[in-house]
Amino acid sequence: MFGSSPPFYTFNPQSEPADTQAILQAQFGDAITLDNRAEGGSASTLLNMMAGVDGGGAPFAQRIQSSKAQIVLDAHAVNDDLSQSLGPYSDALVAWVQAVRVAGKIAVLEEPGPVCDNSRPYLANYVSAMDNIAAQYSVPLVKQYDYLQTIPNLCSHYTAGIFPDNAIFQIKAQREAAILAPLTRQLIQQPE
């Protein structure tokens, strides 16, 4: 979600959130903005974000209280597979959903795309945990993992096996916007 490009952890301004914003602005106007608060690097895990040690500031439950966002999307899983077991990840994902809702915002989860470097052998398990929590808590879900695996020569679109190119960012953005657009429309149509 950060939009990393080689050299590693360098922010790419053409990223999935930037592409999603362009799609939503084309539908709803320039007032729609996406604020990409993703942190890059291996410290960017869900547990670290919840604890406030991911480089983004205070613990997440505090951060989200002061956020002006109406919809909050989380896409953690790739680095989590490197950093902790599935149980703590699942517990943190439930805590994330609850924190977003306590703050009066709409929670959305997004599956990661697959990786092509064999360094995350259990990523499919994290995706499954996310899908189960989304279903259990009625959280809108952007399904990316299985779909992206159907793209011919997918790994040719990745650098170092984990950094997608702009073509993959655009595909992911279209799928993300398809979930966010109805939520955005509902918010726009709600009386103040």
| Whole-number Å distance between alpha carbons of 88 and 94 | 10
Longest alpha-carbon distance in the chain: 49
CB-based contacts of 166, cutoff 8 Å, min separation 6: 12, 14
Task: Judge whether 131 and 111 are in contact, CB under 8 Å.
Answer: yes
CA distances from 24 to 13, 75, 91, 171, 176 (A): 17, 19, 32, 14, 10
- 39 pLDDT more than 70: no
Q: What is the mean pLDDT of residues 80-105?
A: 93
Start-end of H helices in 29-122: 46-51, 60-66, 80-83, 86-102
Please compute the mean of the pLDDT values over residues 19-31 and round it to a whole number: 92
**pLDDT tens string 142-171:** 999 999 999 999 999 998 888 888 899 999
pLDDT at 85: 86
Number of domains in the chain: 1
Please give the pLDDT value at position 153. 95
Nearest alpha carbon to residue 46 among 130, 102, 115: 130
Q: Which residues contact 191 (CB under 8 A, 6 or more apart)?
A: none
Over range 56-78, report the average pLDDT.
93
Q: CATH no. for residue 49? A: 3.40.50.1110
Structural domain range at position 159: 4-189
pLDDT at 42: 66
Output DSSP code: residue 42: T
